[in-house]
Structure 1
Amino acid sequence: MTILEQGGAAAPQPSDLIKDTTTQSFVQDVIEESKRQPVLIDFWAPWCGPCKQLTPLLEKAVRNAKGKVRLVKMNIDDHPSIPGQMGIQSIPAVIAFVNGQPADGFMGAVPESQIAAFIDKLTAGMPGGEPSVEEILKEAEAVFAEGDPAGAAAIYAEVLNVDAGSIPALAGLARCYMSTGAIEQAKQTLALVPEAKRSDAAVSAVQASIDLAEQASALGPVAELEQKVAADPLDHQARFDLATALNAAGKRAEATDHLLEIVKRDRKWDEDGARKQLVQFFEAWGPTDDATIEGRKRLSTILFS
């Protein structure tokens, strides 16, 4: 259902603030327009229940922003190539473009307050308040980001004491285990997530981290892989393996560099394998991680320039 014609009192009119885009008009509607003001692109599909919850909230928030930001919607069923190239693997997904590049994003049907806070942050406004449980979860994320996975795990445990089935808390706790190399404990924690919730973005991110870690464990030492690449820069498999090993060692920027080098040299290598691996990195790192944002930006430059 479209809400393009509803509401909106001040110029620019809602029809200008909210629109649908296609593969052909994406560059003009999103990349070029974002050079003038922030643009949110909402990747959705008609069969996606959470999308039907999120899109009206997005439209309302964009109208309330009174022209500070625009909303562009893309049906991934009709136009799969752009979300595929950008590594969008679950919907709803919202990516903010600023100055022609991806700048931030989130996945899932988040509350109205969180959307408002996201737009406020994007437009340099004051973030709005959020429900108490979300505040606790955000505190855990902040503690984790500060390099204290044990402290973050304790906070996630507080949430699980109240709600043993909290998907964000289970995913967060599993991520804490992964950061300390406790892969088996991470697996056991994810096993508590119901099958119907396994596609949740946070759960998928941890699962991707586990898959990448196990993939890296089968490779040789980083030094040996670096020697192979130095001896033959066109050995894409060695460079691919090196990127995987570097990611497992926490060297995200270097891992990104090597995969992008393959994409630039030979996009079709291994059936687009380098880009697909980079997409898995993005999923494991999360949409708001600096490495993901920078990686998407650089990938977009290669794909759309």
Structure 2
Amino acid sequence: MQQPRDFSLYGAVDLGARQAAAQRREQAAERSAKAGASGDGEASAFVIDVTEETFNTEVAARSRTTPVIVDLWADWCGPCKQLSPVLEKLADEAAGSWVLARIDVDANPRLAQAFQAQSIPMVVAIIGGQMVDAFLGAMPEAQVRQWLTQVLAVAEQLGVGSADGAPGAAPQAGPDALADAMPPGYAEAQAAMERGDLDAAASVLEKALAETPADPVLKSWLAQVNLIRRVGSYDETAARRAAAASPGDVGAQTRVADIELAAGRTEEAFDRLLGAIRRTSGEERDRARLHLLELFEIFPPDDPQVKKARGQLTALLF
């Protein structure tokens, strides 16, 4: 499956079995009409519903002066119902330093296709007319906040928006400004991930990390790319059967831990590897430890689940 340029897999929902575009448009139109008739939920000044007809104005053009965060969602998507209120709350708190643009993928299938949204919720940052970052799934609020902080830092580099929350002046930079503002290797890695070439993305990221080994973003991207590559090669049924039959088989436990993490079951994945470390010794124990540390790289260092697992790992090792 192709992935967005930067992504997380929490709670992603498969889009493959949705109804035809015409039916989806009709259903979404009916929902919008009912919501309008009932007067539910007055719209926030910082949250807008975007359609294929209004996208160029509300997202592409607006992003030249204000960062736009696009929320691709659907009424039937459970994780979307967890994430969208978080995004709306943060948009209101930001008071104009960025704008939330909501896109119903059922009503706007061409936009979903343009974003290569094979699963939702999908959240995309648009700055200066370019997609600069994205993630999949219902991330916790703390992680969304950190992601937004990083996005706004890029916006500031490009001269889009302003720190006090008011829209800034239109940037003088052209469409290629992002590539100039970002560290070497980022743009090339993003392009490879966007076209679904994970092997090329991994190669670029490995080269970039050799030059800047402490870069946390590059580390996170590479860990995510490697996770997707591994999970794509697994037979989940066989992996779970082997792990259940052999609790001390580190290879089997790491495969299932990967599958669990990719499905958004982060705590289960960490607990599984901590259990493998507890049950093994020597090289096998070190193998499980290193795999756990690699999974940690996917998350911000201050992620609560990572902090908890690191503490447990320290207790096991010392």
Query: Is the pair's TM-score, using the shorter chain for normalization, greater than 0.5?
Result: no
TM-score bin (small chain): 0.3 to 0.5
Higher relative contact order (CA 8 A, sep 6+): 2
TM-score by length of 1: 0.42
